Amino acid sequence: MRLYTAKDYNDLSRKAANLLSAQIIMKPWCVLGLATGSTPIGTYDQLVEWYRKGDLDFSEVTTVNLDEYKGLPADNDQSYHYFMHKHLFDRVNIKEGNTYLPDGMEEDPEKECSRYARLINRLGGVDMQLLGLGHNGHIGFNEPDEAFEKEVHCVDLQERTIEANKRFFASADDVPKQAYTMGIKTIMQARKIVVIVSGEEKAEIVKKAFWGPVTPKIPASILQMHNDVTLVADEAALSLIG
């Protein structure tokens, strides 16, 4: 694992955007795996800035997102489809037909999970996967469990995840209780993985995930087994690392 230490969130965002932009420049037709949440927003803003300066071209890039809430239509302002268009897709020259997310409105989990897994396989897999890190060690919506979930699957969200997300909704009752997500095996098949983590409140889980034992109780710990992982974290998130 490579570790890049950032001074603060803005520095972290630049460093992560550097890695993604290098991938795009080296392979303009690359497949990027993208994440949502508050942490990647700065990274996307930096990519947009470089695009506007003429330094980046997204015209051949394909993207596949990690996850999507089950039961939220794409035009709901809390859907990940909406998030990606707001923070990246509508601000660069990526083709609409080259951006893929799970279909949150598909009620048949088996059908949707199979469709999305086949899609990723048809695209030739992910060249670089961007990940955030949940407070409980989840990546995507792969929650702590007794075993590592393998393929794309439908997950019941844990109370802590629902609690963390309720600030985005009118009430906790409005937070979806399920989501479609890439599984651990799907994530681990990406050729390169970039994990971005910010803030002192993530320091304990960073230590457990990357310097502790590999266990499905901390899903992100499996990333220690990948041969090309880069952790980009600010000093606050690394404050417990000696």
What amino acid positions are annotated as catalytic residues? 67, 136, 138, 143
- Which strand (E) or helix (H) includes residue 100? strand 99-100
Separation between Cα atoms, residue 74 and residue 93, nearest integer Å: 20
Angle at 19 between CA 16 and CA 24, to 5 degrees: 125
Q: Give the list of residues 6+ apart from residue 34 with CB closer than 8 angstroms, or none.
A: 40, 63, 64, 65, 66, 84, 88, 130
Which residue's structure tokens are 């409980």? 136
Separation between Cα atoms, residue 201 and residue 165, nearest integer Å: 16
Quick one: tokens of 35?
């994440």
* Full strand arrangement of the beta sheet holding 229-234: 2-6, 229-234, 192-197, 128-131, 31-34, 62-65, 99-100
